[in-house]
Structure 1
Amino acid sequence: VRGGLRDPRRAGNMAAEEADAGAAPATKDGKERVDYTELVETATSEAEALAGAGNLSGALEVLLAAEKKTRLGLDSIATSKLAEVIVRVCWEARDLAALNAHILILSKRRAQLNNTVGAAVRKVMEFIDEIEAGEAQEGLIETLRTVTEGKIHVEVERARLTMMLAKAREAEGNIKEASEILQDVQVETFGSMEAHEKAKFILEQMRLTLAQRDFVRTQIISNKIKRKTIDAEGFEEIKVRYFRLMVELHTHQHEPLKLAKDFEAIYETSTIQADDAAWQEALRNEALFLALAPFDNEQNDFMLKLQEDRKLEELAAHAKLLKVLTTDLIVEWPLPNVSEAAELDAHLAALGGDWAADLNKRVLQHNMRVVAKAYNKVRMGRLCQLLSFDDADEAQVAACEALLSEMVSEKMIFARVDRPAGVVSFDKPQDPSERLGAWSSDVEECLSLLERTTHLINR
């Protein structure tokens, strides 16, 4: 107090505090918060009575009037409850036209709350399965998709509705439209959808694109699923489904090494390991497609690693196939053991396609590599004999030359053919500097051995 007078600023603050002490709780915009619980209960009871008497329009008028008050009062809980009652009374009256109309009305009302739209949509989704498949069901789904379009808070519900619509189109036999509908939703960008549901959605996208033979799009969609995700615990079923779809894709692309990796992933899944028939099938396919893959360092290392698995010993024919392809010996083909040869033939026949011819080619390529390691030079006739070609048949000699040329072109081996002399040379010419380096290394190794020997003698 200055000179007996009260500070006007302090006086104003004290007055505000006194006013706040007796006031009701306020919302963020300063309005008093009103409890609409009684209003909601009264409106619900009155509406149910009217709807039960057959007066649906009167019931909806009561509910919409109450919804307006709660909406403008910013009470999201009360407004959501009223929205659920509105769609419920429409459903109980089996008036789908009113249900569709009031879903749209609720979504378009001024200053409508996000939670209200979400609550109404989720409530209506409970009724969809009870509607007979057809135009009525699809019309309701389309209405819900319309009100959820572009709204992040109901993106998961929209994805589920899209899945329902796609399944309806697929049931009608319209695979292309079902696939296009499902691809409109990019679930990989959804933060609110759990990983399990997201992966299942993407698998459905893959399945439908494969069904319409769109392999390029399937490859693109498959990249949306991360290996780290499906390797986690609880994703075993999804992992197996994913790699079975990849098997279908890679079979079309004729990629045996990728197929071997697909079956390896299936084989390593815990649910597959628990089923003897399942793991044997996966391991059998893994071994065969690995043998069918073109030779390179990765393929060779993969075969050696697989042979360390003791379970492979239970599959005698496939274990023998990998063993002969990883040793530097000429392979007799078909395998001399009749039962093993018959088992491989049956497996190849079940796969169909040109896989049998591919396996025969891989065996010939293996034998050619063995010959290239064992010989510096060899006559063409002898080479044909070693590779089981008839050297007296010009067509078979030409086939042997074609195989040799292909392997040289793919840089599997080095070879030069002297046709007038009928000689094949596998001796790769060395650059003078390389030859000098090799000679220097040999001399150094020889001197090192001599020094060590002298040291041992002196001891």
Structure 2
Amino acid sequence: MSDANKKQEKDYTLEVDELLPQAKSLAESGKLQEALDKLFALEKQSRNASDLKSTTRLVKAIIELNYEARDYTQLNSSINVLSKKHSQLKGAIQAMVELAVTWLEEVRERDGTEKWLELVETLRTVTEGKLFLETPRARVTLALAQHHESLYRNASGKSAISPRDSLITASDLLIDLQVETYSSMERREKTEFILEQMRLLLEVARLKDSESGKKDDKDSLGGGETEWVKFKVQSRKVNEQFLKEKENEDLRLKYYDMMVQYGLRHHAYLDVANYYYKVWETPSIKEDTNGKGKAALEHIVYYVALSPHDNQQSDMMHRLYNDSALEKLEVQYNLIKSFTTPELMRWPGIESVFGPFLRTTDVFQNDKHWEDLHTRVIEHNIRVIAKYYTRITLTRLTTLLDLTPNQTEETLARLVVAGTVWARVDRPAGIVNFRNKRSAEDVMNDWSSDMQKLLGLVEKTWMGMNAAQAAQSRVKA
């Protein structure tokens, strides 16, 4: 039963008004326990009478006297005891917890981390499992997680917990809280909390990857793969429509920065290009045409060029090519133009024209990215050849692709399996066939279509001749 549905049997306002000054005077004179006993006695009466206002004033007064006396043992005990009292009013517990939360920073600065941790653990214990205290619990837990992360950042070797365990503890503390379901937390605070969960998962994943030496092995079950999976799950809880609002640009940039890191770890180049596109669409970024806006647009070009060919990649590349903003970036514009033009891109020429500039960028300093660009160029060339040739010798194909025979067959086989092109290799004859054998139905369908076009032309011509004859007859008449 909620506090609002409990009928108040008696009003203890006058008794509380009289007792509070007395209790404060007793505490100041060194008789803290006597003051607390009087407050606890009246608190029981007001609680049993369902007097929410008086009960709230009393529980707050009890913990305030303990706090002012710097008696943290008594303070933590009082918070625990008051929260567990029979028929304790929710409003009173909530007011008590919220008041204690405001003291946390002052406790840490004045009395040290040990006392701060004791109060934090008390508040976490009191708020556990109580829906009406979910928001204070989340805030206290966030503060505790940040404390453990600071132990990882400022590791001195004196702590009983290793820096690695401190970081993992910080992440585990936050990930246990499902803030997206909290009704009492504001939307922006929820988003900030989820982004903090994602950031810590990212830190732990990288740490475990570096320890296992498998940071580029996305199929491995070892390393930080568990954290990467959790990261992806958490990322889906962020409402991207909410991030589009102008006042949330800082959250938008933070979110997509982490998503870029996730995409790069899994070599999902098209996803990375889309994330950079979201960044570029941010008004403050797009307006900065010579700074962050330019950098974002350049990265979109690089990663869409690195992406394997499919309908989505092709659509994005053509939209980029037609965007007037890209024309201001000569190198990037010409790179996209090369991929959108159905002509061969000989790798030695691409390497000599674009290489000196691209190899100085943060993207293509990575040898893996440069190798992937070479692969995309080869795949582009195979698609162009398949468009213009029905049959070609393997030797000629190898020459056009600037590859060895084995590399040519391997690349061609990969594109065939992916469904990008249709091809069959006659190895004894050394011929590659790019045209599938047509069935009788396909031939008949094409013949039927051609006949319809022919009959349409005949009908149009006949009508034209009739019109000309009729006009000539009128002239003669």
Task: Give TM class, smaller chain.
Answer: 0.7 to 0.9
Change (3 A) 1:299 1:114: same
Secondary structure at the residue paired with 1:346? coil
- Among 344, 349, 355, the alignment partner of 1:330 is 344
The equivalent of 2:302 in structure 1 is: 288
Give the alignment of 1:114-125 within 5 angstroms: 114-125=90-101
Query: Which structure has the larger Rg over C-alpha atoms?
Result: 1
The answer to whether the aligner puts 1:424 opposite 2:432 as a matched pair is yes
Give the corresponding residue for 2:384.
370
Q: Which residue of 2 aligns with 1:108?
A: 84
In structure 1, give the amino acid aligned to 2:54.
A
Structure 1 residues 335 and 199, CA gap change in structure 2 (3 angstroms): farther
Where does 1:52-67 land on structure 2 (aligned, <5 Å)?
52-67=28-43
1:188 matched to 2:180? The reply is yes
Identity over aligned residues, as a percent? 35
Residues 89-113 of structure 1, C-alpha deviation per residue, up to 9 Å, x if partnerless? 2122222111111111211222211
Tell me, yes or no, if the aligned pair for 2:145 and 2:171 is still in contact at 8 Å: yes
Q: Is the 8 A contact 2:390 2:435 kept in 1?
A: yes
- Spell out, residue by residue over 1:119-139, the C-alpha distance to the aligned partner (whole angstroms, 9 max, x if none): 111001111011235222111
Cα pair distance change 1:58/1:253, threshold 3 Å: same
Q: Answer whether contact 1:261 1:286 (CA < 8 A) is retained.
A: yes
* Aligned equivalent of 1:231: 244
Task: Write the mapping of 1:238-387 to structure 2, written as runs, cut at 5 A.
Answer: 238-276=251-289, 277-333=291-347, 340-347=354-361, 349=363, 352=366, 354-387=368-401
**Equivalent of 2:417, from 385, 402, 409?**
409
Partner of residue 155, structure 2? none
Aligned length: 426
Contact 1:292 1:358 in 2 (8 A): yes
Unaligned runs of 5+ in 1: 1-26, 390-395
AA of the residue aligned to 2:274: K
**In structure 2, how many angstroms separate the alpha carbons of the residues matched to 1:337 and 1:212?**
38
In structure 2, the CA distance between the partners of 1:339 and 1:280, relative to structure 1 (3 Å rule), is: farther
Deviations 1:9-60 (A, max 9, x none): xxxxxxxxxxxxxxxxxx97776542x3332232221222222223322332
RMSD over aligned Cα atoms: 2.2
User: Where does 1:53-202 land on structure 2 (aligned, <5 Å)?
Assistant: 53-132=29-108, 134-173=113-152, 174-202=166-194
Q: TM-score, normalised by structure 1?
A: 0.87
Give the TM-score normalised by the residue count of structure 2. Answer: 0.84
Aligned partners of 1:415 and 1:424 also within 8 Å: yes
Whole-Å Cα distance in 1 between the matches of residues 458 and 5 of structure 2? 93
Report the residue type matching 1:205 in the other structure: Q
C-alpha contact (below 8 Å) 2:8/2:50 kept by paired residues: no
SS at 1:417 equivalent: strand
Aligned residue in 2 for 1:17 = none
C-alpha displacement at 1:155, in angstroms? 0.9
Residues 374 and 181 of structure 1: CA distance in aligned 2, closer, same or farther (over 3 Å): same
CA distance in 2: counterparts of 1:47 and 1:265, whole angstroms = 60
Verify the 8 A CA contact 1:348 1:356 in the aligned structure 2: no
* Gap runs ≥5 in structure 2: 153-165, 206-226, 469-477
Match of 1:222 in 2: 235
Displacement of 1:83: 1.7
Q: What letter matches 2:256 in structure 1?
A: F
378-387 or 140-149, larger mean C-alpha shift: 378-387
Tell me the equivalent position of 2:221: none
Asked if the contact 2:52–2:92 (Cα under 8 Å) also holds between the matched residues in 1, the reply is yes
1:48 aligns with 2:40: no
Alpha carbons of structure 1 residues 124 and 46: separation in structure 2 relative to 1, 3 Å = same
**89 and 102 in structure 1: CA distance in 2 versus 1, 3 angstrom threshold:** same
Q: Are positions 1:441 and 2:449 aligned together?
A: yes
Which structure 2 residues correspond to residues 199-218 of structure 1 after superposition, within 5 A?
199-213=191-205, 214-218=227-231
Task: Provide the C-alpha distance between the structure 2 equivalents of 1:62 and 1:182, rounded to a whole number of angstroms.
Answer: 40
